[in-house]
Amino acid sequence: MFTSGLQHVAAMYAGVVAPPLIVGAAVGLSGTELTFLTGASLFTAGLATFLQTLGVWKIGAKLPFVNGVTFAGVAPMLAIVDTTEDKADALPVIFGAIIVAGLLGFLAAPWFSRLVRFFPPVVTGTVITLIGVSLLPVAFGWAQGPNPAAEDYGSGRFLGLAAVTLLIVLLLRRFTRGFLKQIAVLVGLVLGTLIAIPFGVTDFTPVTEADLVGFPSPFHFGAPQFALAAIVSMCVVMLVSMTESTADMLALGEIVERPADEKTIAAGLRADTLGSAISPLFNGFMCSAFAQNVGLVAMTRIRSRFVVACGGGLLVLMGLSPVMASLISVVPRPVLGGAGVVLFGSVAASGIQTLVKAGLEKDNNVLIVAVSLAVGIIPITKPDFYHAFPETAQIILDSGISTGCVAAVLLNVVFNHFGGRRDDDEVTAPMEPGEEISETRAKTVHAH
């Protein structure tokens, strides 16, 4: 049970610590504070996993689910940080928005399953793709070095470390099996850090200053603040997160041969949303089911929810040991950047996999994906695109995930729900060079 639980932790560890590292760096936290934030995320991920696997009353799907910090919230949180004048208020504003979004999601859980039809694969696939694409620039920034103002920022030394780390992860994924393959990202971070020591870019100060035992004191960064624009942005993220969790529950139910019915989905969503609402009390972020662990259950065929609960216990213990949490703070930014390319790129690839199932041979779905991706990529390619809008609006608009999700949902409603369904129209594509016009195609071209 211990080793299987550890394997679940290893498979999702990098995904849990990445969001606090990204947000903490944007806020400008010191190494010690960054360690605290990372430990808090591990601790709250363990609590959320307990809720999901063991369950209390009508809370928890009681399936082998690992819960942790969702990537969907990272881009909106960075937008909140960018639009907050005093960076010291950024985390309290984020925590306040997550608490409200979590409580609203908890109340909406019983009815959400009836709204799932508005979040088909064409919508969820677009949003998941945008999550990965939105986070990739963070990995590229890490690869260039720790300080954008430094003269050696983007030097060959930093980019080389990132490339070596990326190569290690790829080689491990290609030539290893089982447990080692699952923890390829974690091993890549360790080896990359060791390789970086001779280059003088590894700082062990956070480990030497960290205590062996500690507790993530409630509201360490200040009492939560409630800003309307931030709340709206995180509510959109909550809808995305609930949709992902619903899809994961349906998939996992089939794997463990216990199909997830409406009651199970509602209980699972209550665990997700309550875990998210509780997390900010201990300085954690929004929680959601981890899809990579669903794949691990399918691969290992170990279907016991108590094994995953054991993994949740390990996460809690790691969160209560600042020394263990500080280890990730030692990893140099270029090494994180190299691993982040795989980590964030995998998220985008997961979205593309979902889109493949969405039926892109239909004209309507192609339009939905095309426009939604374009809207979602605006803040990435043109960060100042919405500079003329009020700051409160920029919090939402500067998050490509939020705007892309709203666009996808609205376009899906317009094209596939109102005025009758017309998604049977096949995509009209130009001929390949040298292709002869068949009689059927000639009629189609003439008709169009």
Q: For the segment 59-105, what is each residue's pLDDT rounded down to a tens digit?
A: 988 888 888 888 778 878 888 888 888 888 899 999 999 999 999 99
- pLDDT confidence band for 419 (50 / 70 / 90): low
Which residues fall within 8 angstroms of residue 179, CB to CB, at 6 or more apart? 7, 10
Residue 433 has a pLDDT of 42
Residue 444 has a pLDDT of 45
Q: What is the mean pLDDT of residues 315-323?
A: 87
Examine residue 435 and state whether it is found in any structural domain, yes or no. no
Most confidently modeled range among 241-250, 383-392, 405-414: 405-414
- pLDDT confidence band for 361 (50 / 70 / 90): confident
Look at residue 369 and tell me whether its pLDDT is greater than 90: yes
Residue 131 has a pLDDT of 77
Q: What is the mean pLDDT of residues 53-61?
A: 87
Q: What is the mean pLDDT of residues 136-141?
A: 85
Which residues fall within 8 angstroms of residue 295, CB to CB, at 6 or more apart? none
Look at residue 426 and tell me whether its pLDDT is greater than 60: no
Q: What is the mean pLDDT of residues 115-134?
A: 80
Whole-prediction pTM: 0.69
When the pLDDT of each residue in the chain is averaged and rounded to a whole number, the result is: 82
CA distance 322 to 283: 14
Residue 277 has a pLDDT of 94
Residue 282 has a pLDDT of 93
| Buried-exposed string 273-290: b where 16+ CB fall within 10 A, e elsewhere | bbbbbbbbbbbbbbbbbb
| Buried-exposed string 6-33: b where 16+ CB fall within 10 A, e elsewhere | bbbbbbbbbbbbbbbbbbbbbbebebeb
- pLDDT confidence band for 226 (50 / 70 / 90): very high
Examine residue 421 and state whether it is found in any structural domain, yes or no. no
Domain enclosing residue 44, as ranges: 2-416
pLDDT digit string (tens) for 141-172? 889 988 788 888 888 999 999 999 999 989 99
**Pick from 285-299, 369-383, 399-413: least confident:** 285-299
Residue 280 has a pLDDT of 93
Examine residue 69 and state whether it is found in any structural domain, yes or no. yes
Examine residue 427 and state whether it is found in any structural domain, yes or no. no
Q: Which of 116, 100, 107 is nearest to 276 (CA)?
A: 100
Look at residue 443 and tell me whether its pLDDT is greater than 50: no
Examine residue 104 and state whether it is found in any structural domain, yes or no. yes
Examine residue 431 and state whether it is found in any structural domain, yes or no. no
Examine residue 122 and state whether it is found in any structural domain, yes or no. yes
Of the two residues 355 and 31, the one the predictor is more confident about is 355
Residue 291 has a pLDDT of 66
Residue 439 has a pLDDT of 46
Examine residue 342 and state whether it is found in any structural domain, yes or no. yes
Domain count, the chain: 1
Residue 446 has a pLDDT of 47
Which residues fall within 8 angstroms of residue 96, CB to CB, at 6 or more apart? 224, 225, 226, 227, 230, 231, 280
Q: What is the mean pLDDT of residues 419-427?
A: 51
The residues facing 287 across adjacent strands are: 69
Look at residue 3 and tell me whether its pLDDT is greater than 80: no
